[in-house]
Structure 1
Amino acid sequence: MVILVLNCGSSSIKYQVIDMEDASSKLLAKGLVERIGQPEGDLTHKPVGRQPYELHQPIPDHTTGISLVLKALTDPEHGVIRSLDEVKAVGHRVAHGGEFFPASCIVTEDTKAKIRSLFDIAPLHNPANLEGVLSIEKVLPGVPQVTVFDTSFHQTIPAVNFMYALPYAYYEKYRVRKYGFHGTSHKFVARVGAKLAGLDIDHSKIITCHIGNGGSVTAVWNGRSYDTSMGFSPLDGLVMGTRCGSVDASAITFIGEKEGMSYPEVNAMMNKQSGVLGISGLSSDMRDIDRAYEEGNERAILARDMYYARIKKFIGEYAAEMGGVDLVVFTGGVGENSCEMREAVCSGMEFMGMKFDREANKGARGVDKILSASDSRVKIAVVATNEELVIATDTYNLVK
């Protein structure tokens, strides 16, 4: 079954085409549409085993962008399918499912209405995600669609961990609570990591660290999310590329009052001007921070040290919550590729049974590998995440 996987942003579309069978999958192509709505748009199409294809032209909306993707998929030279009839289903990544969706589901009118009702608490992501669903209805009418939610995996978190100590009325009126994100990735790498470490996922205590420009840490107890660092929005928890992570709310209201900032300006400051960018004044990209770190830039050193330290704090916190840990997994753009980050986070953790193998860590980039010493009581691993495969698998199972 050929499945198209879409991840629609406000001005972009990431996609993969995967041929699913009962126990296997085959990636046929992947690509990216960028600068939707701008004077000049870009399409980069990468068929497996062949040269990439690029297209540069105005792309006014998501429907046009998806139409160009479908045209590329069926093109005689760089296409990977003969006709659009081969696309049997479309799977969508949707950022926020609120309390409505504890699992992936086939798209219905009710599904779309509930995604729309969550626009207020996910204004940057859900409108674009829904736009992808509506665009497919126009260009591939009648093809089944499935929505896979970043928040679904975290719906098993107990109230003691998802509630905030705010007046309870705000939870009742507005559903203000911790939702968590990156759930598709945390679910995938916990299971792959457990298999790699020889653990039974249903009888295990695992901490998964999805570390990138955005990042989160999750406590996975017996295969289910028990706590996670992101909260009501993706702002909470770790120090990130441009997000501040956990911070005293009074510090924010103090700055806002002193600077005469509006609520949107305060929100932009916390989400787009903070994190390692705000601390370093240089960049939100950890590769730039690493270079400046090696050059002795004091603010880059501070930014990276804070970035690493917050990850270590959450590992300790979640080990305490679960009463121990069997496995710590690193994934995400930084988690999979930064040997320095993994070593810094795991150093000094011998007291809780983590013995890090520095030699195994060297050069381990974008692979699945055990990074702990053979006599380490707590296993440490790096796992390459594959959220698109999870979306395709859920889509296949629901449509089949």
Structure 2
Amino acid sequence: MMKGIVARLLAATIAVSATSAAAVEISMERGNATSKITVTGSIERGDAKRFKDFWDENAYDSFRFIVSLDSPGGSLNDGIEIGQFIRKNGAHTEVRRYSGEVPGRYREELSGAQCYSACALAFMGGVEREIADDGKIGFHQFYGGSSSSATEAMEHTQYISAYLAGYLRDMGAKPELFELLSGTSPGDMFIPNSAQIAALNIVPQLGFHDFRLMPKDGLIVATAVDERNPGALERLYEIETLCWKKHPIINLYAASERQGLSPEMASRSTAHIDGFRIDTTSGSYEYGSDRIKLYPNQRLLASLIIDPKVARALGSGSGMVVVNSYTASGVLIGGRIEAPSGGDQAVLASFRECL
């Protein structure tokens, strides 16, 4: 019911930042491993369907797809739909401007790329996102559609605002981005600088970062996810730190039970796992198989038991967690923790009772 209401309201809501721009143009530059789909011009109603149809007809014979955007904006609904489709298909996005197509030649990168309004929302759908050094991305309030009364207009705005906030959250943006967007009038543009782009997670930061403290089974744990970490063999999606019975523990999770370990992989006799390594700014620490527990047929991959001094070092700066195994066994579990200057206070707090 709610989804249907939002869809109807979005269909009546257009956010155009440059009405004089040409309609969107979609093309592809095909590579062996990576292919690039370029989207240029104003995004109008129906362009999300055009983009999906183009993808279905052309996105093949590559392992990786990048959607390159250079657009002044357009239809809010279509921008979000394009972003959701990009995320569903695991594609990456970039803000870059290219020269026109020349048969037999790769297009030349040009300066002045911009991605505003609805384009910025489509950009947020990328699993990985990149903005050219001189490129700009911009956000602002959406333009409301016509309403017959003040009450209807308020309901309209509330529905669309909630939907937009949820979309940005699902794409990994910090909540502050929606606040800044909402505080910028439709005739203006919030163009974040490089520091804001990183702080608002408009371009995702590398590694596991911004751990959150939360209660779990009577304990306090710190947890962070990195949806870019899992790969063809790599499974690690979430890292959790906690103190259990005076032992610092690191739990490692896959994104879903389906991506967990099979019984054969979790068996000590077949998985060839001989321990794990923790790299910190104060040194590297090796642990044997007696300090690791593997779990089959569930999202939880492994529990690592570490020493208090290692827990303290891990909470005080960036580090790396690596489970030692032969990749031929199908087990590859590891990820980098990126901490702010002075360490991650949530990780330290989760270990506090063990230090």
Bucket of the pairwise TM-score, normalised by the shorter protein: under 0.3
Larger Rg: 2
Which structure has more relative contact order (CA 8 Å, sep 6+)? It is 1
Larger helix percent: 1
TM-score by length of 2: 0.26
Structure 1 length-normalised TM: 0.24
